[in-house]
């Protein structure tokens, strides 16, 4: 939206044919502010934001400050009403930061005797973090937290890093612990893998959140869930929520199909406890309501609650069967109309 407003402002000014003296400090800072906004929009592309997240966050924050200052200098000689807009923007941003800080202080129990602790573990190349909270927190399926860890053995830069991670656990009651499944890459996640391999003690942690929206998957009759690799972390909370809603008759869902594609079976073995916890409520109707398909390309794996298929999935067949409601139990008195279907992927 900010980028569109900037483009609109530039186009209107160009058609007005008003003089624009670059030698003036006000106009120089206008160019700086416009460039900062343009760069901020450019670095928000997923290919940059996901690959270099730590650099993206710091750059985005710095560019935002520079753009606000440039706008303030640009309109400083103008009327007070124009400057008032900047003051309101800065005031709202400052108030938001203050409220968020107070919420972080409350949820982390900073003024209490016990801060949150993080148990960092690893298995088969995956990093599993269990955050023990100071206060129970209610987390919806699909939400994430921003995690900061105090690891003295790492560099100073690593001490001030924080990262967003999807919460892989769910409960209808507030949670005392949060389970995170992390893929080691570079930077912060690489430090976590090194920590899990060298030390087994708990470390202090702070978090903000939970953030993000939760999809109301329980409103749909058929739910087809698709995940590849570490994307399973975002689907497990929805799976557990759906099974709980089905058992307690709070959800309309009558068919849940989770398809998980893996290159190797190591990740499935590493998160076996998370999988079992998500499937623990799959007890009614002999598990007929749910199906868990594990697709591995190079190895075979079987469990009581899953079916393994080697090779690529037949997506056309899967979609057709679920759309037709082939596996939904129906009674004669039931109306012939079908409910809605949703497909989630990660």
Domains of the chain: 1-78 (no CATH), 117-211 (2.40.30.10), 217-326 (3.40.50.80)
Query: Which of 250, 251, 263, 258 is CA-nearest to residue 274?
Result: 258
Q: What is the pLDDT of residue 291?
A: 67
What does the pLDDT look like over 1-46, one tens digit per residue? Answer: 777 878 877 787 777 777 777 777 778 888 888 899 889 888 888 8
Q: What is the pLDDT of residue 312?
A: 63
Distance CA 137, CA 112 (A): 16
What pTM was computed for the model?
0.76
Task: Please give the average per-residue pLDDT across 65-69, as a whole number.
Answer: 89
Name, of 41-45, 167-171, 262-266, 287-291, the range with top average pLDDT. 167-171
Name, of 143-147, 198-202, 297-301, 310-314, the range with top average pLDDT. 143-147
End-to-end Cα distance, the chain = 26
Q: What is the pLDDT of residue 331?
A: 43
Q: Above 70 in pLDDT, residue 191?
A: yes
Quote the mean pLDDT of the chain: 79
Kindly report the length of the chain: 346
Q: What is the pLDDT of residue 332?
A: 41
Q: What is the pLDDT of residue 210?
A: 92
Task: Please give the average per-residue pLDDT across 170-198, as a whole number.
Answer: 85
CB 243 within 8 A of CB 210: no
Q: What is the pLDDT of residue 211?
A: 92
How much is the CA Rg of the chain, to the nearest whole Å? 25
Dihedral sign (CA 185, 189, 190, 196): negative
Please report, rounded to a whole number, the percentage of residues in the chain having pLDDT higher than 70.
Answer: 81
Q: What is the pLDDT of residue 303?
A: 40
* More confident of the two residues 28 and 177: 177
Q: What is the pLDDT of residue 176?
A: 92
Which of the residue ranges 7-21, 94-108, 114-128, 165-179 would you say has the lowest mean pLDDT?
Answer: 7-21
Q: What is the pLDDT of residue 63?
A: 92
What does the pLDDT look like over 145-160, one tens digit per residue? Answer: 999 888 765 555 555 6
Distance CA 184, CA 266 (A): 14
Q: Above 70 in pLDDT, residue 112?
A: yes
Give 282's pLDDT tier (boundaries 50, 70, 90). low
Q: What is the pLDDT of residue 137?
A: 93
Q: What is the pLDDT of residue 306?
A: 47
SS3 labels along the chain: CHHHHHHHHHHHHHHHCCCCCCCCHHHHHHHHHHHHHHHHHHCCCHHHHCCCHHHHHHHHHHHHHHHHHHHHHHHCCCCHHHHHHHHHHHHHHHHHHHHHHHHHHHHHCCCCCCCCEEEEEEECCEEEEEEEEEEEECCCCCCEEEEEECCCCCCHHHHCCEEEEEECCCCCCCEEEEEEEECCCCCHHHHHHHHHHHCCCCEEEEEEEEECCCCCHHHCCEEEEEEEHHHHHHHHHHHHHHHHHHHCCCCCCCEEEEEEEECCCHHHHHCHHHHHHHHCCCCHHHHCCEEEEEEECCCCCCECCEEEEECCCCHHHHHHHHHHCCCCCCCCCCCCCCCCEEEEEC
Give 237's pLDDT tier (boundaries 50, 70, 90). very high
Q: Above 60 in pLDDT, residue 330?
A: no
Q: What is the pLDDT of residue 157?
A: 58
Q: What is the pLDDT of residue 83?
A: 79
Q: What is the pLDDT of residue 226?
A: 86
Name, of 35-44, 111-120, 156-165, 333-342, the range with top average pLDDT. 35-44
């Amino acid at each position: 939206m900010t980028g569109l407003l900037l483009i609109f402002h530039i186009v209107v000014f160009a058609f007005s044919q008003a003089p624009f003296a670059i030698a003036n400090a006000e106009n120089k800072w206008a160019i700086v502010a416009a460039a900062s906004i343009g760069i901020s929009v450019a670095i928000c592309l997923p290919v940059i934001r996901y690959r270099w997240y730590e650099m993206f966050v710091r750059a985005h924050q710095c560019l935002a400050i520079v753009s606000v200052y440039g706008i303030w200098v640009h309109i400083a000689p103008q009327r007070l009403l124009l400057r008032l807009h900047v003051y309101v923007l800065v005031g709202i941003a400052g108030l938001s930061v203050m409220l968020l800080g107070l919420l972080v202080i409350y949820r982390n129990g900073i003024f209490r005797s016990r801060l949150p602790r993080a148990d960092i573990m690893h298995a088969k190349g995956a990093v599993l973090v269990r955050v023990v909270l100071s206060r129970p927190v209610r987390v919806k399926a699909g939400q994430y937290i921003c995690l900061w860890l105090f690891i003295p053995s790492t560099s100073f830069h690593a001490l001030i890093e924080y990262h967003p991670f999807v919460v892989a656990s769910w409960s209808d009651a507030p949670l005392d612990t949060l389970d995170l499944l992390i893929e080691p890459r570079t930077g912060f996640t690489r430090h976590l893998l090194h920590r899990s391999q060298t030390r087994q003690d708990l470390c202090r942690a702070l978090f903000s959140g939970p953030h993000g929206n939760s999809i109301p998957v329980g409103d749909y009759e058929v739910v087809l869930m698709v995940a590849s690799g570490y994307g399973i972390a975002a689907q497990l909370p929805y799976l557990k929520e759906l099974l709980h809603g089905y058992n307690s008759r709070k959800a309309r869902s009558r068919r849940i199909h989770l398809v998980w594609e893996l290159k190797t079976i190591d990740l499935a073995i590493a998160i076996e406890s998370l999988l079992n916890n998500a499937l623990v409520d799959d007890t009614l109707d002999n598990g007929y309501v749910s199906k868990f398909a594990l697709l591995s390309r190079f190895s075979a794996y079987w469990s009581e609650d899953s079916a393994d298929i080697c090779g690529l999935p037949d997506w056309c067949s899967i979609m057709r069967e679920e759309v037709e409601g082939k596996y939904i139990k129906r009674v004669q008195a039931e109306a012939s109309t079908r409910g809605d279907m949703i497909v989630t992927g990660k």
